[in-house]
Amino acid sequence: MPAEWEAHRGTWLSWPHKEASWPGGFEPIPGIFAQIVSHLVPHEEVHINVADAELEASARDVLRVAGVSAGRVFFHRHPTDDAWCRDHGPIFVQRRDGPGPEPVILDWGYNAWGGKYPPYDQDDVVPTRIAKELALPVIAPGIVLEGGSIDVNGAGTLLTTEQCLLNPNRNPQLTRAEIEAALGHFLGARHILWLGQGIEGDDTDGHIDDLTRFVDPVTVVTVVEEDPRDANYEPLRANLERLREMTDQDGASLRVVTLPMPPPLYREGQRLPASYANFYIGNGAVLMPGFEPGRDARAQAVLQDLFPTRPVAVIDCIDLVWGLGAIHCVTQQWPADLP
């Protein structure tokens, strides 16, 4: 599996339509998607899953109002249950166990984060439908795994969390060793790094894309909470200590850079999983979720130092994270060398 910062052909999205995912707060969500598209289309294609002509027309209207050029936007009739394309979308890999390299789409099992939000049958088959449309081979590994639960450096090392991948609501029949074997076989991961717990409010049971991300083959950026009274303080410190002892696939120590957490964000009494680690690395820009101007600026500066050739754009995600996800959760890269 290529790293996210490697060249993209495009980015996949699933256009939002499930109002229940943002109770009483759906209205601004399509506009936030339009902002995401606007930052990507100057540098890569954007491919959007929609159920029918009506949803496509609605999405086109939103993009037009936002001033987004439609020239590199492509719509695909793949119905979805929800908008979290990181978790239900296609994961593109290069198969190397045959006569020659071959692009393949992986269709992992998807059960809406442990059966929390039925129905999810449409989301579960999105990768296979896209593979059929693109005439690409598709492989179903036969285990449940969401794209947001893993992060790779493109050289053989994979990051994940015990809270998610070892959760009995995913693959209770599998041992840790069996899960590692599957990650190795299907993603080319020969070195697995396990962190512990995720952040408060994360209904995905500790997705790595709210915690720690590779930004180059040997560097990770990881969120830390500065307030000892906050519930995230101890789990994030524990993850930081693990990272400082970890190595890459060749035994070299990781370079660990810390990223601040946003101030605690609540809505209707619920702690929301706001995290600056939920950024997306596009061809020509890094898209970072914004939650509070002062803290946003600090996080943006950290990421800008790590991506000196790609402007870091901040997109206000206070409304988006009410759905319990942010920018990385709604995007899925299509690597350029896997046509």
- Domain CATH for 148: 3.75.10.10
pLDDT of residue 98: 73
Structure tokens at 79: 């119905």
For residue 2, tell me if it sits in a domain: no
Domain assignment present for 1: no
Cα–Cα distance between 28 and 16 in angstroms, integer?
A: 11
Selection from 164, 155, 222, 208 nearest residue 328 by Cα: 208
Structural contact between residues 269 and 294, judged by C-beta atoms closer than 8 angstroms: no
Residue 23's nearest CA partner among 225, 270, 252 is: 270
Domain count, the chain: 1
The pLDDT value recorded for residue 337 is: 75
Q: What is the token pair recorded at 133?
A: 């449309």
Mean pLDDT per 10-residue section of the chain, whose length is 339 residues: 97 98 98 98 98 98 96 97 98 85 94 98 98 97 98 98 98 97 97 98 98 98 98 98 98 98 98 98 98 98 98 98 98 85
> Does 245 fall in a domain?
yes
For residues 266 and 251, the answer to whether their CB atoms sit within 8 Å is no
Catalytic residue among 85, 164, 317, 329: 329
pTM of the complete model: 0.97
Q: Please check whether residue 221 lies inside any domain of the structure.
A: yes
Query: Three-class SS of residue 228?
Result: coil
Closest CA relative to residue 130, chosen from 68, 88, 175: 88
Residue 301 within a domain? yes
Question: Strand (E) positions, 17-175?
Answer: 45-50, 73-77, 91-95, 102-106, 138-139, 151-152, 157-161
pLDDT of residue 101: 78
Is 330 domain-assigned?
yes
Please answer whether residues 190 and 184 qualify as being in contact, where contact means their C-beta atoms are separated by less than 8 angstroms: yes
3: in domain: no
Known catalytic residue at 85: no
Best CA proximity match to 325, nearest among 106, 151, 87, 118: 87
The strand order across the sheet containing 138-139 reads: 91-95, 102-106, 138-139
118's tokens: 């039925």
Sign of the dihedral through C-alpha 313, 314, 320, 322: positive
Question: Looking up tokens 């999105």, which residue turns up?
Answer: 126
Dump the DSSP string for 10-46.
EEEEE----GGGSTT--TTHHHHHHHHHHHHTTTSEE
User: Quick one: pLDDT at residue 99?
Assistant: 73
Q: Is 52 contained in some domain?
A: yes
Domain that holds residue 283: 8-335
Residue 64's closest CA among 84, 26, 85, 37?
37
Cα separation, 309 vs 322, in Å, equals 31
Whole-number pLDDT of residue 338: 58
Asked if 4 and 190 touch (Cβ cutoff 8 Å), the reply is no
